[in-house]
Chains A and B, each alone.
Chain A
């Protein structure tokens, strides 16, 4: 890779051992990609806290949180003192909600270890957003802003909806970027990679969150990690719709960038979206594709008695919490069922103030933060059948926990929670 004088100085130790290790990792990574050079980034989202028992044991045996960070965040066998971050850095979701240790199955030791880890991250200057949706709690990259983010549902959102530029980074590359403000200039940082490759013509109206989730799941399953261009969008989708669309497409496939003609910023027209590319193929999405996708997502489910309903993948917006609270007000979660809703801490704070948390808890449901069932592997005891309004969670949870998953609308999910049965 071609290195600037600044990059060479960081590599050669001018700014200390941790920065040198970070540059070393980024250079090895950039060379592996075949990147020509680095791009400067001042917006990084990653994971620097240590949450698992394995990491806790590693910390105890190898030299504390600095040892964990040196090995797992900087790929350094040598333990280096961890400095403050240089880039604006935000923390993504956790492997558990530390405020709900009983539901999450956490020992007091793990909760205590996490609190130390979180305090350490805060001292580094990492913003403790603890969500898969940093873009809804204050980190809103602008068009063309070079970022280094993890979390596939967040990457696809900022690339496609905001016109920002990031690849699907990992724990080590984002941590190194936090210390150096550098990331390989590859993939979606470059104009050519952002152009559309496959065309989708909508033959039916796509309006509800469920509609957008199903479309995303179908698109991702077809194009895998290429760049779809969707034409024929009617009603303009809002944040929750785009959030669910992207999360689905990045789960069934590995889509990191898409275009909605007339909606997203690099797709005023089909011509702009495709640029110099000729579409590899164009397919139509109609009633049959929607129904087949719906049946595919629901294929693992057969028992109508529902044990657990989870909402909030990706993390619910305040609008979605308001809607759920309206659906729940005056009702009770069935004694044979449970309802957990996940959202960022900052959004829960709003929900508390607006009285939605009180409504949700009065119904017997819980509003939780930082995580979700797939990340934490936590579900209520005895859960065999789950109901979800998220195609992403429906994609992962059966594989991770071996449960049956029903997918449908939020209304159907809340009904299932209150009746104990799936009526979809």
Chain B
């Protein structure tokens, strides 16, 4: 739903991502205390996650991340919301949702992923292949 083509290393989580209080846009890392990806950076990665949660400052956090050069390269998620729609739009990075198969069941962190949001195709190269 945000056009464009980008590729990068996948960063995958089954836990929704919080914006305000959940990420640090200076470093592009997840800071939420109990998150499984706490301390890991999404900068330049293809972020694969269920959706957004938390405060309405979600879009502003990833907007600042883009300006600081730490935003994800592309977004793949499952649950639509105003937060994730606005946040991905202002990140300017290609974003896709509403897949024929659940990306969370297929993509693993470290895989190389190419997101063609214009054609609606996600291409995955396994890390170990």
Contact = CB atoms under 8 A, between A and B. Distances in A.
Contact of A72 (B33, B58, B60): B60
Contacts of A71: 67
Contacts of A47: 60
B14 to A, nearest CB: 14
* Prevailing SS type, chain A contact patch: helix
A150 B56 CA distance: 6
B82 A169 contact: yes
Contacts of A54: 64, 68
B56 A32 contact: no
B120 to A, nearest CB: 14
B89 A171 contact: no
Interface in B68-83: 68, 80-83
A190 to B, nearest CB: 13
B95 A32 contact: yes
A74 to B, nearest CB: 10
Contacts of B108: none
A170 B57 contact: yes
A397 to B, nearest CB: 10
Contact of A225 (B32, B60, B81, B88): B81
Given A31-B1, A151-B56, A400-B21, A170 B83 contact: yes
B123 to A, nearest CB: 22
B28 to A, nearest CB: 14
A222 interface: no
A172 B33 contact: no
B55 interface: yes
Nearest to B68: A54
A225 B56 CA distance: 13
Contacts of A420: none
Interface residues of A, number: 34
B32 A29 contact: no
Contact of B86 (A169, A374, A396): A169
Contact of B1 (A32, A151, A187, A224): A32
Interface string B31-70: 0110000000000000000000111111110011001100
Contacts of A25: 89-90
Given A151-B56, A155-B56, A398 B33 contact: yes
A170 B59 contact: yes
B98 to A, nearest CB: 8
Given A32-B88, A33-B85, A171 B55 contact: no
Nearest to B64: A54
Interface in A18-61: 25, 28-29, 31-34, 47, 54, 58
Interface in A250-280: 254
Interface string A4-17: 00000000000000
Contact of B33 (A58, A186, A374, A399): A399
B25 to A, nearest CB: 9
A10 to B, nearest CB: 18
Contacts of A293: none
B54 A254 contact: yes
A168 B89 contact: no
Given A34-B1, A399-B21, A169 B56 contact: yes
Given A169-B82, A170-B87, A32 B2 contact: yes
26 contacts: A25-B89, A25-B90, A29-B85, A29-B86, A32-B2, A32-B85, A33-B82, A34-B80, A47-B60, A72-B60, A155-B56, A167-B82, A168-B56, A168-B81, A168-B82, A170-B57, A170-B60, A170-B87, A171-B57, A172-B86, A172-B89, A173-B82, A173-B86, A254-B53, A399-B33, A400-B21
Interface of B: 1-2, 21, 32-33, 53-60, 63-64, 67-68, 80-83, 85-90, 95
Interface of A: 25, 28-29, 31-34, 47, 54, 58, 71-72, 75, 150-152, 155, 167-173, 186-187, 224-225, 254, 374, 396, 398-400
The 5 closest A-B pairs by CB, nearest first: A170-B59, A32-B1, A32-B85, A150-B56, A170-B86
Given A172-B63, A224-B53, A399-B21, 15 more contacts: A25-B89, A29-B85, A33-B1, A33-B85, A168-B81, A170-B59, A170-B60, A170-B83, A170-B86, A170-B87, A171-B59, A186-B82, A225-B53, A374-B21, A399-B33
